[in-house]
C-alpha cells in the first residue's frame, strides 16, 4: 500500500534540494556491476551496494526490534531462514523501478518472505532524515505481527498504530524507549479539524479496512489523518497497565468474530463517543513515553554477530531477480530485464530458469507451460522450486476444469499433490509447495488424507491469511470431528474477512460457539446456565436441553428451536450478534438440511435452499445486490450452471421476463461468482459475457 509510506516534510525538501536527484538512473546492467556485499546474522541477510556500516546498522536495528518485540508482546516469531533484504540507494532504486514513495516494504506470501529498502550512508545514520529509518522499522513490525504461530487478525487501525508506536524505538541512557513524542514529525497536527478541534472519530477509525488509494491532496490528507489517529490511539492504550489489558481484551474479542461495536463496548466499557473524549484529553494533557531498562533485570539485549562478505555479480543478480519483482509490477521493463539478465548470468541455475518460466506463464497455454517445466525438470529433477511450479500449473488448471463441471479431474489432482509432496521432501522450508497444497485441499475439501490437508492448510495460512483458507481449515477439522480447532479456524475466517465476502461463515461461527459452550451446565429455575455465560431457557433432561427452548449468548447471538440429546436438532433459528440469521433444519447440532439465510448489510442479501454446516451446499437461490442466482452450490460457491435474474428492471419497453440468463459459473478466490461461459443476449440472441448492460 504505497500511501502507507508517509515521508516527513524535511525528507521531501531534502530530495528537492538534492542536486543529484535529476541525474539519469543507471541501467540494470550497471546496477549489477556495483560492489555488492552481504551482511548476515541469525535472522537477517542484507544484500546491498551501500557501505558496510549501513548494512551492519540495519541488521542490528532489526535484530533489536525482533528481540524486544518477542519479549514484550509475548508472541514469538516463527523460525526460518534469514529474511533477505535488498537495500539500495536512490539511483539504483530508480533503475529497478522501485516506487518513489517506498522507503521499505516487507512481503509474506507463498514465495516466502523478503524485503526491499532505500538506503544511503547519510540517509541511514543521520538524524536529519531519521523518519525514513522509522518507516522501515514500521514495515518490519507489520511482518513481525504476521509471522507468528498465532493466526491473529489485526484491525487496520491497530496494525498501523502499533507499528507506528514500535517503530519509534530508541536506545539511549540505558533504556529502550517507545512512543517518544518528539519524534512524531508534527503528525499530531493531522488530528485537528478545520475548526481547530482534535477529532479522533474512533467509530470511523476502528471500522476502516483500507486506506484511500488515490493520489489527490484529499486522499493524502485523509491517510495522514488516519495514521495520526491510529498512532495516538495506540499511544493512549499503552500509557497504563489497565489500558494495555483492555486493548489485549479488545483484540481477543475481535478475533472471536465479534463486531467492532461489541468488542469496543465489552473491552473498553465505553462508547465510541466516550473514547473520543478520553483520547482528546490524553493528547492535550498526558502524553507519556515508555522506557524499559536494559540489563539482566530488564531487556537483556544480546550482542548480535554480523558477518559481512563480498558477493559477485552473478550472486547479486540471483538475489535481485528473486526479490525485487515481488515489489514491482510483473510486466514492468525492470522485471523483464532483471529476469533475463539473471538467466544470462546464471544459465544453469534451475532457480533462474524457474523465475524465467514464471514470467512467461501469463502468455502460455497450460499445455505449453507443462511441456516447458517438464523439460526443465529433466535437467534438475529434484529442484523444489521447479517441482512446486509444476504442481501449481497442474493444480490451477485442474481446479478450473473441475469448477466447470469437467470429468476426470481426479488424475490431475493426484499428480499435482504428488509434485507438492516431492517439493516439500526436497526442501523443508517450502512456503510455495505448502501453500499450493493447502489451496488444493481448500478447493477439493473431500480429499484424503484429512491430516495432510490440515497440515498443508495450517501452514498455508501463515503465508497467505485469507478467509477462504481458514474456512477450509475449519471444514477439515470438522471432518475429523475436532470442534475446538474448527472453532478457532472459523473465528479467524470471520476476523480476517474485512470485505464480507462469505457472510454465512458468521453463522457457522455462531453454530460452533454454541456447540463449544455446551459444557459445565448449572440447573436454574427456567433451564440451565453455563460457564461461558450462556443461558438456556426450556425443558431439560439429564442435565441437557431437550425439546423446544432458547439459547442466549452474552454477546447477543441466540438459537431458538428444538433440541435433542442436548444438541440443536429439528427446526430452529440461529441469529448472530451482527444480525445474520438462519432459519431451517438442524441435525446433530449443525445447521444442515433445508433453510433460509438472511445476512447483515453487505453484498449478499439472502440464501434459500440446501445447507450443510450453515453453508449453501446443493440446490438453492442466492440473492445479492446485483440480482438473484438459482444454481447448484458447493461449499458456499456456485458451480456448474445457473440462472441469474438481474435486480434492476429491464430497459424501458423491454421484457423483464427475458432478463434471466443461463451461464456456466465457477468460484473466484474471493468467494464471488465468475462467468466462464457466454450468455445469449435476450434481444440479439448473440453470445456475450453474462453482464447486465443497457437495461438487459
Report pLDDT for 299: 85
Q: pLDDT tens across 605-625, in order?
A: 999 999 999 999 999 999 988
672 — pLDDT class (breaks 50, 70, 90): very low
Query: Cis (ω within 30 of 0) for the bond into 449?
Result: yes
Distance CA 7, CA 101 (A): 8
Report pLDDT for 683: 52
Report pLDDT for 537: 95
Mean pLDDT of 420-442: 93
Report pLDDT for 215: 75
- Supply the DSSP string of 51-111, one letter for each residue: -HHHHHHHHHHHHHHHHHHHHHHS--PPP-SPEEEEEE-HHHHHHTT--TT-SEEEEEETT
130 — pLDDT class (breaks 50, 70, 90): low
- In the predicted structure, residue 124 carries a pLDDT above the cut 80: no
| Helix, strand or coil, per DSSP, at residue 40 | strand
Report pLDDT for 634: 86
- In the predicted structure, residue 190 carries a pLDDT above the cut 50: yes
Q: Within 13 Å and on the Cβ side, how many CA atoms surround 94?
A: 10
- In the predicted structure, residue 159 carries a pLDDT above the cut 50: yes
For residue 668, CA distances in Å to 87, 412, 516 come to 36, 20, 32
310 — pLDDT class (breaks 50, 70, 90): very high
CA dihedral (181, 182, 187, 191) in degrees, to 10, reads 50
For residue 487, CA distances in Å to 472, 480, 483, 512, 516 come to 12, 13, 6, 6, 8
Report pLDDT for 488: 94
Distance CA 148, CA 226 (A): 26
Mean pLDDT of 38-55: 93
Mean pLDDT of 368-395: 94
CA dihedral (22, 27, 32, 33) in degrees, to 10, reads -80
Distance CA 371, CA 353 (A): 14
Distance CA 93, CA 48 (A): 11
For residue 174, CA distances in Å to 52, 296, 301, 606, 623 come to 26, 12, 11, 60, 62
Distance CA 386, CA 382 (A): 8
Q: pLDDT tens across 504-546, in order?
A: 899 999 999 999 988 778 999 999 999 889 999 999 999 999 9
Distance CA 281, CA 182 (A): 19
- In the predicted structure, residue 314 carries a pLDDT above the cut 90: yes
- In the predicted structure, residue 653 carries a pLDDT above the cut 60: no
Rounded to the nearest angstrom, the gap between the alpha carbon of residue 426 and the centroid of all alpha carbons in its chain is 28
Report pLDDT for 393: 93
Judge contact between 618 and 612, C-beta under 8 A: yes
Q: Which of 67-76, 173-182, 540-549, 556-565 has the lowest mean pLDDT?
A: 173-182
For residue 547, CA distances in Å to 136, 522, 541 come to 60, 18, 9
Tell me which DSSP letter residue 271 carries: -
Judge contact between 549 and 527, C-beta under 8 A: yes
Cell matching residue 400: 478450473
Judge contact between 80 and 62, C-beta under 8 A: no
Mean pLDDT of 46-68: 91
Does the CA dihedral 239-245-251-254 come out positive or negative? negative
CA dihedral (120, 124, 127, 129) in degrees, to 10, reads 60
Judge contact between 490 and 474, C-beta under 8 A: yes
Q: Which residue has the higher pLDDT, 559 or 675?
A: 559
Mean pLDDT of 181-203: 72
- Determine what percent of the chain is predicted with pLDDT higher than 70: 86
Q: Which of 330, 353, 316 is nearest to 29 (CA)?
A: 316
CA dihedral (147, 148, 151, 155) in degrees, to 10, reads -60
24 — pLDDT class (breaks 50, 70, 90): low
Q: Which of 345-349, 549-553, 626-630 has the lowest mean pLDDT?
A: 626-630
Residue by residue, what is the 3-state secondary structure of 486-513?
Answer: HHHHHHHHHHHCCCCCCCHHHHHHHHHH
636 — pLDDT class (breaks 50, 70, 90): confident
Distance CA 220, CA 208 (A): 16
Report pLDDT for 691: 55
Report pLDDT for 119: 81
Judge contact between 684 and 424, C-beta under 8 A: no
- In the predicted structure, residue 16 carries a pLDDT above the cut 50: no
- Give bridge partners of residue 585 from the DSSP assignment: 571
Q: Which of 153, 18, 25 is nearest to 94 (CA)?
A: 25
- In the predicted structure, residue 180 carries a pLDDT above the cut 90: no
Segment holding 37, helix H or strand E:
strand 36-40
- In the predicted structure, residue 459 carries a pLDDT above the cut 60: yes
- Give bridge partners of residue 564 from the DSSP assignment: 567
Judge contact between 143 and 106, C-beta under 8 A: yes
Distance CA 368, CA 480 (A): 40
Max CA distance (Å), the chain: 85
- Determine what percent of the chain is predicted with pLDDT higher than 90: 48
Average pLDDT, the chain: 84
Distance CA 389, CA 396 (A): 11
The model's pTM is 0.83
Packing angle between helix 241-255 and helix 260-268, nearest 10 degrees? 150
Residue 131 has φ and ψ, to the nearest 5°, of: -60, -30
- In the predicted structure, residue 656 carries a pLDDT above the cut 50: no
Task: Provide CB contacts within 8 A for 185, sequence distance 6+.
Answer: 8, 9, 10, 131
Distance CA 74, CA 44 (A): 21
Report pLDDT for 47: 96
- In the predicted structure, residue 655 carries a pLDDT above the cut 80: no
Q: Which residue has the higher pLDDT, 384 or 198?
A: 384
* Burial of residue 432 (number of CB atoms within 10 Å: 0-12, 13-18, 19+): buried
Report pLDDT for 682: 52
Residue 335 neighbours by CB distance under 10 Å: 21
187 — pLDDT class (breaks 50, 70, 90): low
Judge contact between 533 and 540, C-beta under 8 A: no
43 — pLDDT class (breaks 50, 70, 90): very high
Query: Which domains does the chain show, CATH number per domain?
Result: 1-180+293-311 (no CATH), 181-288 (no CATH), 382-498 (1.25.40.10), 504-610 (2.20.110), 626-696 (no CATH)
- In the predicted structure, residue 7 carries a pLDDT above the cut 50: no
Q: Which residue has the higher pLDDT, 467 or 217?
A: 467
Cell matching residue 581: 440469521
382 — pLDDT class (breaks 50, 70, 90): very high
Residue 181 neighbours by CB distance under 10 Å: 14
Judge contact between 636 and 615, C-beta under 8 A: yes
- In the predicted structure, residue 10 carries a pLDDT above the cut 60: no
- Give bridge partners of residue 46 from the DSSP assignment: 39, 85
Q: Which of 46, 57, 81, 17 is nearest to 430 (CA)?
A: 81
Q: pLDDT tens across 556-584, in order?
A: 899 999 999 999 999 999 999 888 999 99
Report pLDDT for 11: 32
Q: Which residue has the higher pLDDT, 192 or 279?
A: 279
Mean pLDDT of 371-392: 94
Tell me which DSSP letter residue 168 carries: T
Mean pLDDT of 629-644: 82
Amino acid at each position: 500500500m504505497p500511501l502507507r509510506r508517509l515521508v516527513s516534510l524535511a525528507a521531501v525538501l531534502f530530495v528537492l534540494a538534492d542536486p543529484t536527484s535529476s541525474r539519469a538512473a543507471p541501467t540494470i546492467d550497471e546496477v549489477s556491476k556495483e560492489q555488492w556485499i552481504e551482511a548476515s546474522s541469525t535472522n537477517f541477510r542484507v544484500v546491498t551496494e551501500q557501505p558496510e556500516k549501513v548494512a551492519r546498522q540495519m541488521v542490528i536495528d532489526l535484530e533489536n526490534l525482533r528481540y524486544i518485540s518477542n519479549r514484550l508482546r509475548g508472541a514469538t516469531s516463527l523460525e526460518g531462514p534469514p529474511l533477505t533484504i535488498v537495500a539500495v540507494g536512490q539511483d539504483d532504486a530508480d533503475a529497478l523501478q522501485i516506487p518513489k514513495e517506498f522507503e521499505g516494504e516487507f512481503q509474506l506470501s507463498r514465495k516466502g518472505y523478503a524485503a526491499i529498502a532505500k538506503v544511503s550512508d547519510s540517509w541511514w545514520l543521520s538524524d536529519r532524515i531519521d523518519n525514513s529509518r522509522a518507516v522501515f522499522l514500521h514495515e518490519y513490525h507489520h511482518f513481525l505481527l504476521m509471522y507468528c504461530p498465532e493466526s491473529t487478525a489485526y484491525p487496520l487501525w491497530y496494525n498501523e498504530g502499533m507499528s507506528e508506536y514500535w517503530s519509534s524505538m530508541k536506545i539511549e541512557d540505558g533504556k529502550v524507549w517507545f512512543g517518544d513524542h518528539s519524534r512524531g514529525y508534527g503528525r499530531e497536527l493531522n488530528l485537528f479539524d478545520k475548526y481547530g478541534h482534535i477529532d479522533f472519530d474512533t467509530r470511523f477509525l476502528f471500522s476502516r479496512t483500507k486506506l484511500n488509494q488515490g493520489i489527490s491532496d484529499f486522499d493524502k490528507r485523509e491517510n495522514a489523518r488516519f495514521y495520526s489517529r491510529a498512532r495516538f490511539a495506540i499511544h493512549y492504550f499503552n500509557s497504563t497497565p489497565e489500558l494495555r489489558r483492555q486493548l489485549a481484551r479488545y483484540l481477543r474479542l475481535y478475533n472471536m468474530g465479534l463486531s467492532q461495536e461489541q468488542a469496543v463496548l465489552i473491552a473498553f466499557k465505553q462508547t465510541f463517543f466516550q473514547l473520543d473524549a478520553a483520547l482528546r484529553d490524553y493528547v492535550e494533557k498526558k502524553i507519556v513515553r515508555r522506557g524499559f531498562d536494559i540489563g539482566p533485570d530488564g531487556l537483556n539485549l544480546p550482542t548480535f554477530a554480523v558477518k559481512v562478505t563480498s558477493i559477485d555479480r552473478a550472486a547479486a543478480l540471483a538475489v535481485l531477480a528473486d526479490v525485487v519483482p515481488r515489489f514491482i509490477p510483473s510486466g514492468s521493463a525492470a522485471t523483464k530485464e532483471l529476469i533475463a539478465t539473471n538467466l544470462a548470468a546464471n544459465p544453469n541455475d534451475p532457480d533462474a530458469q524457474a523465475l524465467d518460466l514464471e514470467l512467461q506463464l501469463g502468455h502460455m497455454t497450460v499445455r505449453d507451460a507443462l511441456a516447458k517445466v517438464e523439460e526443465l525438470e529433466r535437467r534438475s529433477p529434484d529442484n523444489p522450486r521447479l517441482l512446486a511450479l509444476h504442481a501449481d500449473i497442474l493444480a490451477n488448471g485442474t481446479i478450473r476444469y473441475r469448477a466447470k463441471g469437467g470429468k476426470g479431474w481426479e488424475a490431475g489432482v493426484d499428480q499435482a499433490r504428488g509434485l507438492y509432496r516431492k517439493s516439500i521432501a526436497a526442501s523443508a522450508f517450502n512456503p510455495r509447495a505448502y501453500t499450493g497444497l493447502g489451496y488444493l485441499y481448500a478447493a477439493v475439501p473431500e480429499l484424503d488424507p484429512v491430516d495432510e490437508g490440515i497440515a498443508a492448510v495450517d501452514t498455508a495460512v501463515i503465508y497467505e491469511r485469507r478467509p477462504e483458507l481458514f474456512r477450509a481449515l475449519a471444514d477439515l477439522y470438522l471432518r475429523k470431528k475436532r470442534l475446538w480447532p474448527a472453532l478457532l479456524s472459523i473465528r479467524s475466517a470471520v476476523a480476517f474477512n474485512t470485505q464480507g465476502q462469505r457472510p454465512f461463515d458468521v453463522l457457522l461461527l455462531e453454530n460452533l460457539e454454541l456447540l463449544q459452550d455446551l459444557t459445565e451446565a448449572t440447573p436454574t429455575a427456567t433451564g440451565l446456565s453455563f460457564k461461558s455465560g450462556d443461558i438456556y431457557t426450556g425443558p431439560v433432561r439429564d442435565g441437557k436441553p431437550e425439546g423446544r427452548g432458547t439459547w442466549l449468548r452474552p454477546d447477543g447471538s441466540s438459537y431458538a428451536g428444538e433440541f435433542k440429546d442436548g444438541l440443536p436438532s429439528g427446526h430452529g433459528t440461529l441469529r448472530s450478534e451482527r444480525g445474520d440469521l438462519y432459519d431451517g433444519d438442524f441435525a446433530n447440532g449443525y445447521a444442515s438440511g433445508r433453510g433460509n439465510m438472511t445476512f447483515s448489510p453487505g453484498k449478499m442479501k439472502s440464501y434459500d435452499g440446501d445447507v450443510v454446516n450453515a453453508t449453501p451446499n446443493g440446490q438453492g437461490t442466492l440473492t445479492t445486490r446485483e440480482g438473484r442466482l438459482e444454481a447448484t452450490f458447493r461449499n458456499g460457491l456456485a458451480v456448474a450452471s445457473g440462472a441469474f435474474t438481474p435486480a434492476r428492471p429491464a430497459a424501458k419497453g423491454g421484457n423483464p421476463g427475458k432478463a434471466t440468463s443461463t451461464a456456466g459459473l465457477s468460484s473466484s478466490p474471493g468467494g464471488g461468482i465468475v462467468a466462464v461461459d457466454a450468455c445469449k443476449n435476450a434481444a440479439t440472441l448473440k453470445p456475450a459475457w453474462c453482464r447486465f448492460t443497457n437495461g438487459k
